[in-house]
A and B are shown apart, each in its own frame.
Chain A
Amino acid sequence: MSQALAYAFDHIGVVVPSVDWGRPRLAPLWGVSRWTQVFNDPIHKVIVQFGQDTSGIVYELVAPLGDDAPIKQALDKGHNLLNHLAYRTPDLQVAAAVLRRQGCIPLGRPAPAVAFGGQPVQFFLTPVRIILEVVQGAALVHKFELNPDGGALAIG
């Protein structure tokens, strides 16, 4: 099997104290005018919202859900706030095996993600010390709505 991983870029994950704090700051900086709904994910202990800029790049605002959220470490230390790159893949198990052979270490087991309709995701630390999120589901799409004022659209 080729070492090349069959996946498509999905988003850049950015850690923020809250999506309400991050959204109006991200929007003018990167020209993000279309947002998804807000997703509360108790499994990963995060609140997330996706925004898309005019060139099509998708950003994920990731905020802690509760004081014991793992992502809170990044906020508290101000490190790793540009947190991860996420890719969609048709087969997470295959992708995980390829990434492992390439020297990536899994940060946990696959777990369903609310923002992806319950599809499993898994995080890896790569040999270049960048975190990758791999999402099962090659055809997943985010549902954006034009939202020029940067306000929240809905709470999921």
Chain B
Amino acid sequence: MKPKLTDLLRQLFPAAVFDGQDPTLGVGSFAEWDSLGHFNFLLLVEETFGLQFSVDEITELKTLAQIRENLAARGVEA
């Protein structure tokens, strides 16, 4: 069973405290989720779900909700 995006966030940022249901949860929501942290997260999402984002998607996907919506459009529940 594939992990959820919130599981991946906890894996990558174990010290962070966040609300996985917060629709605004995204880059900058906590200190560790900076721009490089975000690329690390997107790379982890790609590796976990076996997909690749386009350059446009990489620049546009800034929140967990946007990433979840993108994956849903690919038929991936996360």
Contacts and interface: CB of A to CB of B under 8 A. Distances in A.
Interface of A: 70, 73-74, 77, 80, 100, 103, 105-109, 125, 127, 129
The B contact surface, by secondary structure, is: helix
> In the complex, which range does the number of interface residues on chain B fall in?
10 to 19
B76 interface: no
Contact of B58 (A74, A103, A106): A106
Given A100-B52, A106-B55, A80 B36 contact: yes
Contacts of A77: 31, 34
Interface in B4-60: 31, 34-36, 39-40, 42-43, 46-47, 52-53, 55, 58-59
A77 B36 CA distance: 12
Given A73-B36, A103-B47, 5 more contacts: A73-B34, A100-B52, A103-B43, A105-B42, A106-B58
Contacts of A129: 40, 43
A134 B43 CA distance: 18
Most buried by A among B36, B40, B46, B55: B36
A129 B46 CA distance: 13
A78 B24 CA distance: 27
A105 B36 contact: no
A106 B57 CA distance: 11
Contacts of A108: 59
